[in-house]
A and B are shown apart, each in its own frame.
Chain A
Amino acid sequence: MTPRRLDLIGTLARVGLAAVFLVSGYLKASDLDQTYVAVNAYQVLPKPAVEVVAVVLPWFELALGVLLLLGVGVRIIAVISALLLLTFMAGVTQAWARGLSIDCGCFGGGGDVAADKTSYGTELLRDTGFMILAVWLIVRPRSLVSLDGWLARNGDGAGLSGGGLQT
């Protein structure tokens, strides 16, 4: 595949992951009390920690989304995204394993649901899809129209910018 085409895939991965975080962050931020209930339903953290996570997570996701959209520090953002997704998947998996019946609250909503209304498999599959986007960007963060590219061209150093494996 030509570098140009790989760049294009990288761009799609970057913008796609940005869209995921912007939407999920926005939906969480627009109902912080619901987000609290969603985080609490995982029954992992003590209440004060739930309080902190519920208020930080929405804005953290929005920040990741904006930074990805700008294309700045794509590799490090992708690493952070992958770690965040791993945390989400661990949360869903433990809920599944413990027999809790909750909605992941991944895109707003969340909390306890009826036992026949859980969809852990789908939620994990969806997170796996997002994980693939993140892994692509870790391996090959180069993409079109990114601030990383601009910084590389205007930075005081030459060569490997944006953490990119330039080809």
Chain B
Amino acid sequence: MTSSGGNRKALYIVGGVLVVVVLAAVSYAFFQKSPSGSSSSATYTTQVRGAVVTAGKSAPATVDIYEDFLCPICGRFESKNGADVRQAIADGKIQVRYHPVAILNRATNPTGYSTRAANAALCAAEAGKFADYHDKLFAEQPEENSAGLTDQELVAKGADVGLSGSFSSCVTGHRHNAAVDAATLAAAKDASLRAEGKGFGTPTVLVNGKRADWSDSDWLTSVTK
């Protein structure tokens, strides 16, 4: 077999196109804001009302974040945006209303991790450690269709960020479970939280009451600029 001009040209075209595509994708990923992780330790005050944690003081922009602690894409959202959101709250640029909801209760065995995790996060907020605890639950998120975390494990994770005493009894006493489940039902019925033709899902992010596309990496900077 002899290699012909046509053959060689084809090889150049193929090689060129594939190299360009791979380099373009990698550099796109590189220039996208790199995942910031839970590296921020900025602090802010929280208030708990019902099953909603209001984080930070009143600010020019209000952001609503609906999350399920078991949802993998929520984990993705947090690893990409968590630290920046935390910083923006601390800087007074945004006020965030965290809505820990439970739409994946069926996806653990035993069921119900989502509600118990949301409850624990509300307990942590009452004890003034919401940010650390919330970030920790997402950073060490159990997988769907696993056992999730037991109440004892949720308490232990709290101890890691300095939570004890009434936090433990709040977690094991499931103090906010009913509020979480009620808030989840209400969210599922709220048409303003849904994309057209779709059901309620997590994460859902609203900026000043309007659904935001957080897969656009500029969503937060366009709010805080």
Residue positions of A touching B, CB distance < 8 A: 31-34, 36-37, 40-41, 51-52, 55-56, 58-60, 62-64, 66-67, 72-74, 76-77, 80, 101, 111-115, 147-148, 151-163
* Contacts known (A37-B76, A112-B72, A156-B5); A77 close to B24, Cβ less than 8 A: no
Q: Which residue of A lies closest to B144 (CB)?
A: A112
Among A63, A74, A153, A162, which residue has its beta carbon within 8 angstroms of that of B21? A63
Residues 7-49 of B contacting A (Cβ, < 8 Å): 7-11, 13-14, 17-18, 21-22, 24-26, 28-29, 35
Say how far B106's CB is from chain A's closest CB, in angstroms: 8
Greatest chain A CB density within 10 A among B26, B35, B144 is at B144
Residues 127-171 of B contacting A (Cβ, < 8 Å): 143-145
Contact between chains at A155 and B72 (CB < 8 Å): no
Contact between chains at B26 and A52 (CB < 8 Å): yes
Contact between chains at A33 and B9 (CB < 8 Å): no
Say how far A108's CB is from chain B's closest CB, in angstroms: 13
Residue positions of B touching A, CB distance < 8 A: 1-11, 13-14, 17-18, 21-22, 24-26, 28-29, 35, 72-73, 76-77, 80, 107, 143-145, 215
Contact between chains at A33 and B76 (CB < 8 Å): yes
Chain A contact residues: helix, strand, loop or mixed: helix
Residues of B within 8 A of A115 (CB): 145
The complex places the Cα of A46 from the Cα of B8 at a distance, in Å, of: 37
Say how far B53's CB is from chain A's closest CB, in angstroms: 24
Contact between chains at B5 and A155 (CB < 8 Å): yes
Q: Which residue of B lies closest to A152 (CB)?
A: B6
* Contacts known (A73-B10, A148-B6, A148-B10); A55 close to B144, Cβ less than 8 A: no
Contact between chains at A59 and B76 (CB < 8 Å): no
Among A33, A60, A72, A152, which residue has its beta carbon within 8 angstroms of that of B22? A60
Contact between chains at B2 and A159 (CB < 8 Å): yes
Residues of A within 8 A of B145 (CB): 101, 112-115
Contact between chains at A59 and B21 (CB < 8 Å): yes
Residues of B within 8 A of A58 (CB): 25
Contact between chains at A63 and B17 (CB < 8 Å): yes
Greatest chain A CB density within 10 A among B77, B107, B143 is at B143
